[in-house]
Structure 1
């Protein structure tokens, strides 16, 4: 589960620390353009540049298809840097040479940045418009900087993600709501029907596996909409949050689709989902606790209506 750019922007002091990382790297390789990137599932994002070098055609915020980047060729599994001191040498594959030449880079150093669990975050890179010499001491120092940066990423992720399901948590939801509350939005409050029986009959380990499967289905559902993300509040309670307001007809369509996504289970599990829906209008004085309470009231109505359905507040 890649760290989304929106999530990074919520990390405390991220911009300051990213700048410190680049400044330290610049002390080690003063002649190079240093840049920090992150990966999504399909793209590489240039997060920060040490400076603007008019000879190197890279800019902050640039997004590149991951399959077309040099950084995607780095050995993340073994945490090994990728080094080309002169891309005109035969050791540099022609397709990588073409990619680097397209931004006017003649040398490249890429250090992989991974989280503790091995998940790829992105890279710390150094490029120059002329050939360069990268000594092992400099590379080792950059790897130490990257390692410290990865520890920071993990700590911030713990603050924003649910430890069991890896979905976002209430802390992250509160931050996003605070930043987007004036634009209006919609909350789907979900509760699993029959989950307690699964825990009682099959044990909590099985219950945890079911929660993880629910999380996976919710994440796939949220990925279908560019304004949505999924949250685990705790236990078997989940939220799907939409950061824009839309019609009741569209809400019904999305709720029915979500119920369908959560309808297929192991035959041993008698499991369904109830959904309470609450929206809040643009420009009003909105409060997350109030919106969640409204959605919870609608959820109770869905439960009393026979479960496996949705109700509006």
Structure 2
């Protein structure tokens, strides 16, 4: 499963901007230790710290289960900061006290960072090993800084994401192959069967609904894998990339799931998918374009054989 953390590796000037955020934040609350974090569905990653404090047990790269994170309690829905000026006096929740005492934090300010579509990104937090004064004006200014930071995140997402489906785009796929040492994996090349009839018969708005629903179903499948992501190439063409070593039987099982997931509709219009699959091993990959061509050849075979099925490149 790809997370915001994987995306951030491709963002331009992220470290520089994060440091600027810390510099501004430290001017407002100079005594605090600040950190930026990002969420996955189950974990919180500590991206950067404003500075190191050996007496506060938080480090860059630290991973925390969300169930064990105080930041999970922040009100993202209403964009409301979580504030404890003095844990012993302000907090009545024993679990929170235990979590913060465990990392030697006595005061805590957690500000939610959300993307413009409302999805959670992570937090900007200010902590101290002593009680602190966290006044409303300071918190309001920090929230404005976070808002500007979220605009930057959104601009970067435009570069790597397909805006209709929120899947990755071809640029992301290309850059991924450029940045990663190729080990073992597979590319599934998908094309929707009957999609043109949806556009012609029900209009492009209905077509967009189909594409977004297909994307949602594909994302549910790749999210179950340890290292996989989904791409919309354009139109009704999608790529699923898996970075893992599996047998042909295991790849077939995943392909069957995808075919079954995309051929069931309660709407008047019906679509399905054909899939071309190419697998590869370390040392056998010429380039991404070659893999895509091989997957496209297999996709053509699946289409020619009757659609709503998958074929491997042989």
TM-score after normalising by structure 1: 0.94
Instruction: Note if 1:154 corresponds to 2:168.
Output: no
Shift of 1:61: 1.8
CA distance in 2, matches of 1:13, 1:196: 41
Q: Does 1:164 align with 2:168?
A: no
The answer on 1:274 being equivalent to 2:274 is yes
Counterpart in the other structure of 1:128: 128
For residue 251 of structure 1, report the CA deviation from its aligned partner: 2.0
Q: Whole-Å Cα distance in 2 between the matches of residues 88 and 265 of structure 1? A: 55
**How far did residue 248 of structure 1 move?**
2.4
Residue 56 of structure 1 and its aligned partner are, at CA, apart by: 0.8
Gaps of 5+ in 1: none
Q: Distance in 2 between matches of 1:96 and 1:14?
A: 31
Counterpart position of 2:55: 55
Deviation, 1:180, is 2.6
Answer yes or no: is the 8 Å Cα contact 1:174–1:288 preserved in 2.
Answer: yes
Mapping of residues 1-313 of structure 1, within 5 Å: 3-180=3-180, 182-266=182-266, 268-284=268-284, 286-313=286-313
| Distance in 1, Cα, partners of 2:184 & 2:74 | 42
Distance in 1 separating the partners of 2:115 and 2:80 = 14
**1:32 Cα deviation (Å)?**
1.3
Q: What is the deviation of 1:245? A: 4.2
> Is the contact between residue 187 and residue 277 of structure 1 (CA under 8 Å) also seen in structure 2?
yes
Instruction: Tell me the alpha carbon deviations over residues 193-223 of structure 1, each in whole angstroms, 9 at most, x when there is no partner.
Output: 1111111111111111111111011001101
Cα shift at 1:80? 2.1
Which shifted more, 161-170 or 257-266?
A: 257-266
Local SS of the residue matching 2:182: helix
* Residue 285 of structure 1: how far off its partner (Å): 5.2
The answer to which of 212-221 and 3-12 deviates more is 3-12
The answer as to whether partners of 1:245 and 1:279 remain within 8 angstroms in 2 is: no
Whole-angstrom distance in 2 between the partners of 1:99 and 1:72: 12
Displacement of 1:292: 1.0
CA distance in 1, matches of 2:197, 2:44: 44
Partners of 1:115 and 1:191 lie apart in 2 by: 30
Pairwise CA distance, 1:90: 4.5
SS at match of 1:89: helix
Distance 1:143 1:90 in 2: 21
Matches of 1:202 and 1:211 in 2, distance apart?
14
* Structure 2 portions without partners, runs of 5+: none
CA deviation map 1:170-209 (0-9, x unaligned): 1111111212353242110000111111111111111111
Calculate the TM-score normalised by the size of structure 2: 0.93
CA contact (8 A) 2:84 2:90 kept: no
> Number of paired residues?
313
Query: How many angstroms apart in 1 are the aligned matches of 2:177 and 2:199?
Result: 32
Q: Is the 8 A contact 1:188 1:275 kept in 2?
A: yes
Q: Is the 8 A contact 2:191 2:275 kept in 1?
A: yes
